[in-house]
Amino acid sequence: MAKLAEENETLKARIQELEQKARQLAILVEDRKFLTSDNERLKAENDKYSSENKELKDALEKSHVASDSMRMELEKLRKNHLNTALSFRSIGDSSPADKEFQQKYNLPGGEFPITYYSCSNSSYHTGYLYISPHYLIWDPSASLFGEKYFTIELKTIKSLNKVKALAFLPIKGASVEVKVLRTDPKDKKEKEDTITLRAFLSRKEAVASIVKTAKNAGHVVHILRDGQLDTSVGSLS
């Protein structure tokens, strides 16, 4: 009788153990279902983000193409403006504004501003570089440092040397060394001089305008990069 009672207790304990394992198994099954559902949700979100990322990448590539197109169109418009200004204005035309321009910068009759660019002089004082049919005129935007304007006759320009303010920088520079040949008033000999213009916001366009205007005046200006003749396709960059 005692043995039967002992076996009965053992059986009860075994049943309780099995019931506990069954409950644990049920919990594991529910956890697995939750993890499977969560994994499917994460996979769906990942597919969604991948699709959005592809759309953003495509949009970015399109914006780069549009940006290049706009830059080329802007350059084309500036060139058209330059050509139009030279085509419709003869050297004999002179408006009151042109006369004021000539008097302000002590220029001969017939000169007028074709276009202008923002840049600094060699002392990093900001100003504007005006281009007229036969001259370059740099005028400081402020005279706080006693800076004065100066002029360069296009026919005296030998070359435009594109340089960097700091040679070790990996990016393209924004400075131009204007090499000019001038006659010394004392010995009447030609001497080479260098005038540095810095911090151009649109160096490519400025160089192109100077070369184009000089060519229209019958003068050739060579383009250099770091002292060497620039013969690359993008030599005006």
Task: Dig out the tokens for 81 from the structure.
Answer: 């403006």
Kindly tell me if the per-residue pLDDT of 236 is higher than 60: no
Report the percentage of the chain scoring pLDDT > 70: 73
Task: Dig out the tokens for 230 from the structure.
Answer: 């620039």
Report which listed range, 60-69, 136-145, 227-236, is most confident. 136-145
- Distance in angstroms (rounded) separating the CA atoms of residues 138 and 113: 12
- Residues 38-91: tens digit of each pLDDT: 667 767 777 777 777 777 777 777 766 666 666 666 666 665 555 555 554 555
Letter string b/e over residues 194-208, b meaning 16 or more CB atoms within 10 A of that residue's CB: ebebbbbebbbbbbb
pTM of the model: 0.61
- Residues 164-221: tens digit of each pLDDT: 877 666 667 899 999 999 887 788 788 999 999 999 999 999 999 999 999 999 999 9
